[in-house]
Structures are given as structure tokens and as C-alpha cells.
A and B are shown apart, each in its own frame.
Chain A
Amino acid sequence: MKAPLWASTAGFLIGLVIVWWLQPETTEGAALVILVCTAILTLSGLIVQAVRRKGAPPAAEKGK
């Protein structure tokens, strides 16, 4: 399953904002924040995508 791009991008941007607010003193700290935020949002995007697919009618039935 391909992760939605919007989720990863949003996670990355949120990570940047949090880094700006937290002002960690090390690069490792900043990288950790961005990675965790990107991972969480990407995972959330995958879950949302899976739920939407499950809720949508199958493509074959759609055409009838």
C-alpha cells in the first residue's frame, strides 16, 4: 500500500513547526522530532486510506 503524500508532507511540516517551537540544541533532537511527526502522520494517512477503501463500494459493483 502506498502512503498518501499529503500525510507525509503534513507530518514533515508539523515536525518543522515543532522544531521551531522546541528549539532543540542538537541536530539529532531536531531530526528525531521531524522523523516521529512524519511517521505518525504517514501512519495516520495509511489508516485513513484503508478505512476509506473499506467503506467504498467495490469498483465492479460501481459500474452496474
Chain B
Amino acid sequence: MAIATRIFLAGNEPIPGQFGAVAVVIFPNGSSPARLQQVCRAFVAVLDDSRTVSERLPDAAQMVTVWPVRDRGAVPRSGVANSPAEADRICAAAAANYDYLRAQQAQAALPTAERLKPTARGPLLAAWAPGANFGQQRVAILRYDLSGVAGDQRLIDAMRIWKDKIERQPELWQSGWNATKVRLWLSTQVDALGAQIGAAMKLVSAGG
């Protein structure tokens, strides 16, 4: 039985290789802190804390998703969020200390076609299995680009899709589209376009 977990990993800590799979949350350089925090809240809400799970299950059963941070001390070590306020506190620190360098390294390890597009806002979730194969090519890779997904609830739904997918056997990983992914993307676009049109109409009515 595999279980999807999460870990905040500092720049000087090696990517743990003993896990069933290792994934990285990859944001492009200069991402907005608000976006980082929003995604982090979904990350914390949906995935279980790796250290807590490690006390009860062997590491090989964990499909761990890494949120890279520059300074380990900046993010609470336990990473367990029992309340929205605690999740906000963890995510404020995790967003402020996001390690873009490690994210770039992880992205460089992906085949070119699987990387984030230069204009994408991210994040890209990319997983390698087993964890010891992190960064290697010609191994099972799972990817999910969340660039087109926004909004707290939609990001939680998207993170649930990720959890569901990564918990499957790597041989069954599929990075392609499914109906829920399409719905989350379309819904985000509709909201964004609706907001733009609404703002434009307000401008016109204010001008007239």
C-alpha cells in the first residue's frame, strides 16, 4: 500500500532515496508569494506529513512530494497543520523560503518536453519512482502542471488528483488529461475571463 506524503526539504539536505517515489513542487523563478502560499495550503491540506507517517509505515511505502526550502529552520519541523491558522503560518514560511535553485535542478532533470513552459506560472508537480531514481531519465515519471488551476478549492481538488495518481503503482502512472483536470482548468479560465470582463465593464460604466 502506497501513501502520498509531503516534506519540506532544505537546500542542504539530500533528496531522500529510500521512498517509493519522490516528487518535487517546481515553481518558476519569481513566482508570486500569494500563489506559492495558495498552492502550499492545498499541499498541506491534502498530503500527510512524511515524518508522522514514517513513525508507522516504512519509507518505501511513501510517495513523498518535496517542497524545497532554503532554510530548514524557517519552516516548522513537524509540518503538521491542525488548523487553518497553523497551515497559514507554515505556508507563509514555506513560501518566503522557497528554494528556486533546487526547483531548477529538479526541472533540469526532466526530459525537455516535460518541463514547464517559459510563460507558465506553475507549479509543476513531477515525480520519479522509485525515489532512488530521482532525476534520472528513462524511469517512470509522473507530471501534473497546475499552471492553469487557481482558487483554494480547485487547488485542493487538483492536489487530490495528484495524491490519487501518485499513490498508484508507477507502472500505471499516466500524466495525460482526464475529465476532472479539464474541469479544473476550464473553471479557472472561465473565472479569470469573467473577472476580466467584469472589471472592463466597471471601467466602461465608470468612464461613461
Q: Give the B-binding residues of A (Cβ under 8 A).
A: 21-33
Contacts and interface: CB of A to CB of B under 8 A. Distances in A.
Contacts of B186: 22
> At the interface, is chain B mostly helix, strand, loop or mixed?
helix
Contacts of B197: 28, 32
Enumerate the 10 nearest inter-chain pairs by beta-carbon distance, A residue then B residue, closest first: A28-B194, A29-B194, A29-B191, A32-B194, A29-B190, A28-B198, A22-B187, A25-B151, A26-B191, A24-B191
A29 B166 CA distance: 31
B195 A29 contact: yes
Q: Indicate the size class of the contact surface on chain B.
A: 10 to 19
Interface string B177-193: 00000010011001101
A26 to B, nearest CB: 5
B194 A24 contact: yes
8 contacts: A22-B187, A24-B190, A27-B194, A28-B195, A29-B187, A29-B190, A29-B195, A30-B190
